[in-house]
């Protein structure tokens, strides 16, 4: 089982996510893009301390990556968890990845699955991918090929070509090989019925 790495996914999400709000949050995004990580940390820290979940998540990514601040997995986890509890799907994915890898927190596969599920239910594609892998292997959840195929299929077309999308395709082939037609049809029925449900906090 190959789980998407926390730092890689956090860096990708942080680099691609653009806030519509002007001010320190967006200035921090601009600083991050130009590799002025210490400036980004300086801009995001007060917002994170005030409870802004996007700033908390982004500050956590800096601690996870050791950019602009001293690398510290435990501090990264604390900031990311604060954002996750407020419903931030990217942060929920980060908490799940931290639990699955034991970064900044004790390894706990069932906790990882719970956080991946929260993020996956909101449409976070990497959480869907990882949740599918957990169901396929029975890691942190009861083994369930139908649920595995559902989550993997949901993730497949939302990912860019190459890399993770190729990994999802291979995982789908592996899972589908263990299923009969009735199970496959049930998985596709669940895919069609699924709708993202944003958490409101």
Whether 4 shows a pLDDT value over 70: the answer reads no
What backbone torsions phi and psi does residue 69 show, to the nearest 5 degrees?
-145, 165
Structure tokens given for 169: 């395709």
Confidence at residue 75, expressed as pLDDT on a 0 to 100 scale: 98
User: What is the rounded CA–CA span in Å between residue 98 and residue 112?
Assistant: 8
Structure tokens given for 192: 């069609």
User: What is the rounded CA–CA span in Å between residue 176 and residue 122?
Assistant: 25
Structure tokens given for 163: 């890399």
Q: Convert the pLDDT of each residue in 135-163 to its tens digit.
A: 999 999 999 999 999 999 999 989 988 88
User: What is the rounded CA–CA span in Å between residue 108 and residue 101?
Assistant: 8
What region, left, alpha or beta, does residue 38 occupy, with left being phi > 0 and alpha being psi -120 to 50 degrees?
alpha
Distance separating the N- and C-terminal Cα atoms of the chain: 33
Q: Convert the pLDDT of each residue in 160-181 to its tens digit.
A: 888 889 999 999 999 999 999 9
Confidence at residue 163, expressed as pLDDT on a 0 to 100 scale: 87
Q: Convert the pLDDT of each residue in 66-120 to its tens digit.
A: 999 999 999 999 999 999 999 999 999 999 999 999 999 999 999 999 999 999 9
What DSSP string runs through 62-78? HHHHTSSS---HHHHHH
The least confident of 13-22, 151-160, 181-190 is 13-22
Confidence at residue 136, expressed as pLDDT on a 0 to 100 scale: 98
CATH 1.25.40.10 fits 6-193, yes or no: yes
184 CB-contact burial (10 Å; exposed 0-12 / middle 13-18 / buried 19+): middle
Q: Which of 139, 63, 72 is nearest to 100 (CA)?
A: 139
Tell me what the pLDDT averaged over the chain comes to.
91
Confidence tier at 188 by pLDDT (50, 70, 90): very high
Q: Hey, where are the domains in the chain?
A: 6-193
SS3 content of the chain, % helix, strand, coil (to 5): 70, 0, 30
Give the residue-averaged pLDDT of 36-40: 97
Whether 33 shows a pLDDT value over 50: the answer reads yes
Confidence at residue 103, expressed as pLDDT on a 0 to 100 scale: 96
């Amino acid at each position: 089982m190959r789980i998407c790495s926390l730092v890689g996914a956090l860096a990708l999400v942080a680099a691609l996510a653009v806030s519509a709000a002007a001010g320190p949050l967006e200035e921090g995004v601009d600083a991050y893009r130009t590799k002025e990580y210490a400036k980004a940390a300086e801009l995001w820290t007060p917002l994170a301390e005030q409870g802004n979940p996007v700033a908390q998540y982004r500050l956590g990514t800096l601690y996870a990556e050791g950019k602009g601040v001293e690398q510290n997995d435990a501090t990264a986890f604390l900031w990311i968890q604060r954002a996750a509890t407020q419903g931030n799907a990217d942060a929920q994915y980060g908490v799940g990845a931290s639990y699955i890898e034991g970064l900044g927190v004790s390894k706990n596969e069932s906790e990882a699955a719970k956080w991946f599920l929260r993020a996956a239910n909101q449409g976070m594609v990497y959480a869907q991918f990882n949740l599918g892998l957990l169901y396929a292997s029975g890691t942190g959840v009861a083994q369930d090929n139908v649920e595995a195929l559902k989550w993997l299929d949901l993730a497949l077309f939302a990912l860019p070509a190459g890399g993770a999308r190729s990994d999802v395709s291979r995982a789908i082939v592996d899972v589908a090989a263990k299923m009969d037609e009735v199970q496959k049809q049930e998985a596709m029925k669940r895919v069609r019925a699924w709708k993202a449900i944003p958490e409101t906090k």
